A and B are shown apart, each in its own frame.
Chain A
Amino acid sequence: MHEPSLLRILPDVVAALSSRVPIVALESSVFAQGLPIPHNRTAATAMTRAISSRGVLPAIAAVVRGVPTMGIEPHELERFLAREGVRKVSARDLGVAVAAGQDGATTVAATLALCTLAGVRVFATGGIGGVHREPSIDESADLNELARSPIVVVCAGAKSILDLPATVERLETLGIPVIGYGTSELPGFFTAETGLPDAPTHPARWRESSALTSASGDAARS
């Protein structure tokens, strides 16, 4: 019987890891569920270009026909952009997606899990999940995964539809460092300011940005 591999890593990503070429991971759920056609393709092109133009390797995470993958091939990305038969895969759904042998677009939580497995330390997205307004027990799995992943996540705060003060409290409880980047407030996804304080560190060497960086592990201490 064929045993599905734990993780498939694109050869370019393997080469970059071994030669210490910087890598930025991207989630696939933003392309398959987050943005409508044709804007999802616009975003995929713009994000990969913004990364590769700086000499950094972009790697999109996804479950490809049941195989968790770091760095999907261009023809595989086409299936995710077409948004057909692609399920949304959070961290807890990874096993189910593997068993079903289906295409799965990974959320922030699932992408973090694949980054940890692959050894990719930086991940760019739009906004992380958080605590929902109603019911407040509805809390994104992104938060738990952020707490246990040694990954820098560059985002514009949490998604705008969330309870942001409650999300800030949970980030603190979970011990997730929050670094304001060119701002001393938590960005509100569509707005640069929310009046919510973050935990300003010293991101001056990373130059200007209004992104919120959530980090743990080495990156937070560097």
Chain B
Amino acid sequence: MRGADVTPLLLAEVERETDGESLAANLALLERNAGVAADIAIAARDVLEERIELGGVRMVQ
């Protein structure tokens, strides 16, 4: 066992050893991270728009 197959195997083993608690945590953090990423994407867009308004960004086609 090596390379790309290692990680899925180890994670499945962690899940067995924790009686599924790791799976619940995994699902929760995935959803949480998606929400945080969305907030960051909004903040990044707002920063870009502020820069455009200030004339600090030149849009290049």
Contacts and interface: CB of A to CB of B under 8 A. Distances in A.
Given A124-B34, A154-B33, A206 B40 contact: yes
B34 A58 contact: yes
Interface residues of B, number: 34
A42 B33 CA distance: 15
A32 to B, nearest CB: 10
Given A20-B48, A190-B25, A51 B8 contact: no
Interface of B: 2, 4, 6-8, 10-12, 14, 22-23, 25-27, 29-45, 47-49
B30 A159 contact: no
A147 interface: no
A123 interface: yes
B43 A205 contact: yes
A124 B49 CA distance: 22
A125 B30 CA distance: 6
A138 B37 CA distance: 29
